[in-house]
Amino acid sequence: MSESANSQYDLTTRWQVDAPIDAVWEAILDAEGWPRWWPGVERVDTLARGDASGVGTRRRYVCKSVLPFRLTFVTRVTRVEPLYLIEGRVDGELEGVGCCYLGRDAGLTTVRYEWHVRTTRRWMNVLAPLLKPLFRRNHDAIMRAGGIGLTRHLGTKAEAESNRSS
């Protein structure tokens, strides 16, 4: 497998939150507030404001989970469909596309994150044949913590699950 193939990740996480979709949407839209409730998201800095819907907004994220390193990346919002979708381009130590979809199912708000990214740190790519499963588990841990944090922030309950395809 090539270094390029080793650096590719397609990751999906789903949260089901017992809260109104508009409350969940507002919490997710307020990315600068994530460090208050999402363990592992250490910092979010807005670099540029987008249009009224948020398209064009650029933010720098610094994230850390159980592994002893941080990832820093910048997102640029490319598409917003209120109460349904936020899509963005990711650059930095991760490159690719991330999408967050919201919907209602069985009386709960469903949040589905999809990441189609690659890592850019050389050491991560070189060690990926051995460490890729650990990197995936690290992603799952930070996403699970986000689901739990969101429900605490909203004063409700949730379930989170991760489905990884590569």
pLDDT for residue 4 = 63
Instruction: Please compute, for residue 6, the number of CA atoms within 13 A of its CA located in the half-sphere on the CB side.
Output: 17
pLDDT for residue 129 = 85
What values do phi and psi take at 124, rounded to 5?
-65, -40
* CATH number of the domain to which 122 belongs: 3.30.530.20
Per-run averaged pLDDT (10 residues), the chain, 166 residues: 71 94 97 96 97 97 90 97 98 96 94 94 87 89 93 79 48
**Predicted model pTM:** 0.88
Domain holding 77, by residue range, is 3-164
pLDDT for residue 164 = 45
- In the chain, the number of structural domains is 1
